[in-house]
Structure 1
Amino acid sequence: MTTDATHPTVTDEAVNSFDGAPDPRLRELLTGLVRHLHAYVRETGLTQREWERAIGFLTATGQACTDTRQEFVMLSDVLGLSMLVEEVNARRAEGATEATVLGPFHLTESPVREPDATIDLAGGGEPCVVDVRVRSDDGTPLPGATVDVWQADGHGFYDVQRPDTQPPGNGRGLFTADAEGRVRFRSCVPSAYPIPTDGPVGTLLAATGRHPYRPAHIHFIASAAGHTPVTTHIFVAGGDYLDSDAVFAVKPSLVREFEDIEDPEDPALARQFGLSGPFRLARFDLVLERT
């Protein structure tokens, strides 16, 4: 390899090595990756020692991945890449629910739940009722839509993080919308929580002076025939870290009030969910774009 003006550089040679790739999109992705990585090395003057540390960091990131932990997803999240991919691919009709990151904890299949079931199997958190209406972007309710739900408990942990204190499937549920396109379930009010910091991603955050916290939220994947599925959250209004989410996923349209219900206007709703005292109520629409 030579690097004078009349001969190809190592970048040219690496890019040209993919000329024979039969898949044109694969060729486009790989050649673009090589050009940007090589430009980064030149612009920053990356040293051999820094390159070795980067390789070690990526190796450790892969080694930290398990069946219940996805360190690479967390790395993508804290670098803003996950949210950027969402934004680049957004083709949202006016009024349709905005998408956000999947996150690293959608790792197990959510158990099928009956209508109005509870997903809070461990208890101990502030009780709430979530009342969701799934509809099309033209306003039509979507009966039979599926809504996959997962959230942390009232202490900020997912079931896979604390299998000794949370039963499998706690905070998770797969619901089918009724004839009105409605899904309702009982849960606990989620709390803000730190993403796991005992691995390479935590080391990166500490080294850069960044906090690891996410604002309180509930995850959803909603899908219906003839519509584009949406992966999204709702965030608890008034909570901490709404303006500094560690994974950059907060959008104003997804922040929702969890109303304090001290003296239920609808006692039947409270009785239906086995609630005798105060609770919180979140009502909102999940609006899907027609395909």
Structure 2
Amino acid sequence: METEVTTEHDDSNARLTEQVVASFASTPDARLRTLMQSLVRHLHAFVRETEPTEAEWMSAIRFLTETGKMCDDVVRQEFILLSDTLGVSMLVDAINHRFATGSTDTTVFGPFYIKGMPERAYGENMAFTPGSPVVVRGQVRSTDGTPIANAVLDVWQTAENGMYSGQDIEQPHGNLRGRYRTDAEGRYAITTILPVSYPIPTDGPVGKMLDATGRHPWRPAHLHFMIDAPGHRTLVTHLFDKDDKYLESDAVFGVKPSLMVSYRERPADDELARRFNLRGPYREANYDFVLDRS
């Protein structure tokens, strides 16, 4: 008798799933129809597998509600943070860049990009807060090796306190952010400060999730890049400090070996220091970016 009741219950659940799936059958946009029907099937399968209590499901709804409340139009995007910490952002990235092309590896966009940051000259210093000075330079090329002139490198990073301008109201506008352009030979140069490892924000639902599951919130030190050039696909990537202790346990799973750089010590008052008006010892990193043609 119990087996019969269980079977009837399972059949009823299956019918419910198919009924909901069928409700989207007339969706005009074929791609939206596919996405919604697949979402229903997978979400229902998750519920059948885990059998949440009504209280647990209400907790999940509250979690998503609080996640939305933490988002704004300028700096904070808690849903991106959630996507990042669940590895979904990197999975979407991998699916959309799964064909080997010889271009630079991509990684997560992150939740702290701000549009319209200052245009900066070749080698200009974008740091208005203290830190260890560094110069990052290299070349931007197409996959066939051709240098790309006038490519735009939109760059951003945290200050030494582990926070981004905009996120941290104490930092000057545009601190550690800027839009650089390559010269006629595709070369770029950025003066800034050494990036530091930092914890992602833990004052919202994502932080509570990490705490409840025993995960740390730390990201390895990195610079963000979004690179645009006519006739090429936009590249979104990071450069990671190869000596950072969090490379193997990045909270958002964004590290790729090809994106690691060394910050080599340089002496004070050498030719490069004089060129970019650096006083005292500093460090230098070199990296060449390769863009796919669109």
User: What TM-score results when the alignment is normalised by the length of structure 1?
Assistant: 0.94
1:50 counterpart (37, 47, 56)? 56
CA contact (8 A) 1:125 1:155 kept: no
C-alpha separation between the residues in 2 aligned to 1:92 and 1:277? Answer: 45
Measured in 1, the distance between the counterparts of 2:192 and 2:13 equals 65
The aligned residue for residue 105 of structure 2 is 98
- Aligned pair partner of 1:71 in 64, 78, 81: 78
Please give the alpha-carbon distance, in whole angstroms, between the structure 2 residues aligned to 1:10 and 1:110. 50
SS in 1 for 2:32: helix
Question: CA separation in 1, counterparts of 2:259 and 2:204?
Answer: 30
How has the CA–CA distance of structure 1 residues 273 and 91 changed in structure 2, closer, same or farther, with 3 Å as cutoff?
same
Greater fraction of residues in helix: 2
**Cα 1:79–1:8 shift into 2, 3 Å:** closer
State the identity %. 50
SS of 1:141's partner is: coil
Residue 191 (structure 1) aligns with: 196
Distance change >3 Å, CA 185–CA 8, structure 1 → 2: closer
> 1:227 aligns to what SS in structure 2?
coil
| Deviation of the 1:109 alpha carbon | 2.5
* 2:145 counterpart residue number: 139
Q: How far apart are residue 107 of structure 1 and its match?
A: 3.0
- In the superposition, the TM-score normalised over structure 2's length comes to 0.93
Q: Report the Cα distance in structure 2 between the residues aligned to 1:7 and 1:237, rounded to whole angstroms.
A: 51
Q: Which amino acid aligns with 2:271?
A: A
Quick one: distance in 2 between partners of 1:48 and 1:3? 17
Cross-structure match for 1:271: 274
Instruction: Determine the structure 2 residue equivalent to 1:29.
Output: 35
* Structure 2 match to 1:286: 289
SS at 1:168's partner residue? coil
* Aligned counterpart, 2:169: 163
Match of 2:224 among 219, 223, 227: 219
CA pair 186-42 structure 1, distance change in 2 beyond 3 A: same
| Distance in 2 between residues matched to 1:63 and 1:7, nearest whole Å | 33
Change (3 A) 1:105 1:7: closer
Contact 1:235–1:255 (CA under 8 A) maintained in structure 2:
yes
254-263 or 16-25, larger mean C-alpha shift: 254-263
Tell me what 1:253 maps to: 258
Aligned mate of 1:80, from 83, 87, 94: 87
State yes or no: 1:206 paired with 2:211: yes
4+ runs deviating over 6 angstroms: none
Partner of 1:172: 177
Aligned residues: 286
Once the two structures are TM-superposed, the CA of residue 144 in structure 1 deviates from its matched residue by 1.2
Q: 1: distance between equivalents of 2:42 and 2:90? A: 20
Q: Which runs of 5+ in 1 are unaligned?
A: none
Q: Which amino acid in the other structure matches residue 250 of structure 2?
A: D
Gapped regions of structure 2 (runs ≥ 5): 1-7
Give the drift of 1:7. 10
Give RMSD over aligned pairs: 1.7
Worse overlay, 138-147 or 85-94: 85-94
Corresponding position: 1:115 with 2:122: yes
Q: Is the 8 A contact 1:3 1:9 kept in 2?
A: no
CA distance in 1 between partners of 2:187 and 2:13 (Å): 65
Q: In structure 1, how many angstroms separate the alpha carbons of the residues matched to 2:12 and 2:80?
A: 42
Match 2:45 to one of 36, 39, 43:
39
